[in-house]
Amino acid sequence: MEDAIDFVVLWVDDSDEQWKKEFEEYKHEATMRDNESIGSVRYEEHGMLPYWFRGIEKFIPWVRKVHFVTNGQFPKWLNLDHPKLHFVKHADFIEHKYLPLFNANPIENNIYKIEGLAERFVYFN
């Protein structure tokens, strides 16, 4: 479909114990590489995602797919079998040597590699 428009959204669960462990392990290296402070405020989950998805269902039904990009986490309430949802892990489109990621820039630079992504898409971060 030529006129297809997809949405791409990045998400992280900052309360996930495995994520916290990896973040603590790589925080210093990531700070050195990015040359900026990596504070927890960058990863806070404010509980808005259910409303975001409901808004798409109600007001933007023409969206073909929502590519939900995470490091492998997902909210327990999310229906991974929904026909419009494409659950994408960082490892699905980013080389292993660059993982794990704690910065959106490398994800943004590789979004075009997401399998099945429409030529036209709207990116949410």
Sorted by where each begins, the domain ranges of the chain are 5-124
Write the CA distances from 47 to 44, 51, 78, 119, integer angstroms: 9, 8, 13, 30
Burial class for 89, CB neighbours closer than 10 Å (0-12, 13-18, 19+)? middle
Give per-residue pLDDT as tens, 79-120.
999 999 999 999 999 999 988 888 788 899 999 999 999 999
Query: What does the pLDDT read at residue 40?
Result: 53
Whether the bond between 100 and the residue before it is cis, its omega within 30 degrees of 0, is yes
Q: What is this structure's pTM?
A: 0.82
Identify each DSSP E strand in the chain by its residue range: 5-10, 66-70, 85-89, 120-124
Higher-pLDDT residue of 47 and 117 is 117
Residue 38 has pLDDT above 70, yes or no: no
